[in-house]
Amino acid sequence: MPINLISCVINYKNKLAIGRDNGLLLKLKEDLKFFKTITSKNDNDTFNSKIDRNVVLMGRKTWFSIPRERRPLKDRLNLVLTNDKDLIKLSPYPTFPWCKFTKNVYFITYKQFLDFYKRTSANVFVIGGGQIYDLFLNNKDENLLPQKIYLTEVYDFKPEQGLEPDCFMSHFNERYRLVNVSDKHNDNVYNVTFRFLEYNYYHNYRTDEKQYIDLCCKVLKNGNERIDRTNVGTISIFGDKMEFDISDTVPLLTTKRVPWKHCIEELLWFMRGDTDTKILQRRGVKIWDGNTSREFLDNKGLTHYDEGILGPGYSWQWRFFGANYSQAFSDTSNVDTSKIGGFDQLQYVIDTLKNDPFNRRIMMSYWNPLHMNEMALPPCHYSVLFYVEEEKGEKYLSCLFTMRSNDMFLGNPFNIFSYTVLTYILALKCNMKPRRLVYMGGDIHIYKNHLAQMTEQLNRTPRPLPQLKINSDVKDKAISDITVEDFEIIGYHPHSSIRAPMAI
């Protein structure tokens, strides 16, 4: 039987925090009940003649953190890893192969545990602490790697000053796939929310992040050095693709932290038809600041625009294609959009998906040469096409988006996640399920002033991709009423951010 791992974790300063002062950070009633249920589950087919119950494996500190009256944990064989000879004498490990494990607790060395596991193939749950978790998560023997990981992922936890976590467990790699997510639970004692997550281990499995890594490596290996608009210079290739399975997890990169809320804010800004980047600034999103600064606009001859105005770029073409642009319309919350005119491509997509889902013209195009001189920056991603498949009465939505020019370090991680979120929104509104995301790139490049940062990222080990949950109310919400609070990312435990200057 497999080794499993179970823990309650809090994402604290990019670490998986599990405790403080040799104890739990939080004693969530439902989590403790979940722990007991999982580790005590009785399936007689899993037991052999030497052992008739599940095993909980822990370190000495974890053992002594359990209240005396609750030790050993009932209905489970308790194994405590230690090198303390005095403790080992209290309950000596039976060395004869034919011996049964009749006691409720044994204090054993790691070497003795290996013998125990070989003899019994018991169903083992590693329950802490940090060093014991890491011993198995980082084990070089694949037979000793946890085959299942059960995490209670806690949100909104803010430790009091002086009571910060001091015990952590290692992040696990991409061979673990998030396969099950519970509904969200609330705990009023600690004022936190949490979910139960389940990961399965797959031998030699790699997430779809591999495609991003492989494409970046291809650019670095085979790319051409080119002078570009920004005069920074790029390493560039022409024409390539990536394809992501978005039916369960989403391509939110883990080799560096991607500010996913900023990405969604920008997407919703596009969807509303806004073209004033100060709307994003007020929400902490500054990705458009450089390309709509006073200096940048003046250099483009757009001296009549207020600072922060993009002009008839992405958002305008999505919602008002062909209409005459005026910065008076840049904040759609302040105008009657029905009087702007033009063709609403986004609404056309939604209507066609609902009424004619197998149509081959379910697309938007934002490349409008008539408006190029009015844009602070012409679209880098310039078209999107949707495709519907039907199986057993269920419809599945896929998305293909095309980019004429793509900055792989700063831009692409935003782009692939943004179009995934768009696909999820449209699928929800049209009674479908998301399936695939296809990226097509033209000039695919890495800026020369990002080479060190890209090398750092590519040297990191990918981690499991997260899941995206959308508030079901979005199905019937007006586009203008959707907010970033309608979205939740689950199981996102990336490496730290890597800062890099944006080429302007």
H-helix or E-strand spanning residue 244: strand 234-245
H-helix or E-strand spanning residue 118: helix 110-120
Nearest to 443 by CA among 209, 210, 226: 226
Give Cα 452 to chain centroid, integer Å. 24
Four-CA torsion 345, 302, 499, 266, nearest 10 degrees: -20
Backbone angles phi, psi at 444, to 5 degrees: -100, 120
Backbone angles phi, psi at 247, to 5 degrees: -70, -25
The length of the chain is 504
Backbone angles phi, psi at 407, to 5 degrees: -80, 110
Sign of the four-CA dihedral 334, 337, 342, 347: positive
CB atoms within 10 A of CB 486: 17
Active-site amino acid positions: 380
The beta strands (E) that lie in 349-430 are given as 363-365, 381-391, 394-407
CB atoms within 10 A of CB 167: 22
| Whether the Cβ atoms of residue 320 and residue 391 lie closer than 8 Å to each other | no
> Could you give the residue ranges of the DSSP H alpha helices within 284-434?
294-299, 314-320, 345-355, 411-429
HSE-up (13 A, CA, CB side) for residue 478: 4
Rounded CA gap, 94 and 109, in Å?
12
For residue 470, what are the CA distances in angstroms to 22, 394, 480? 37, 19, 16
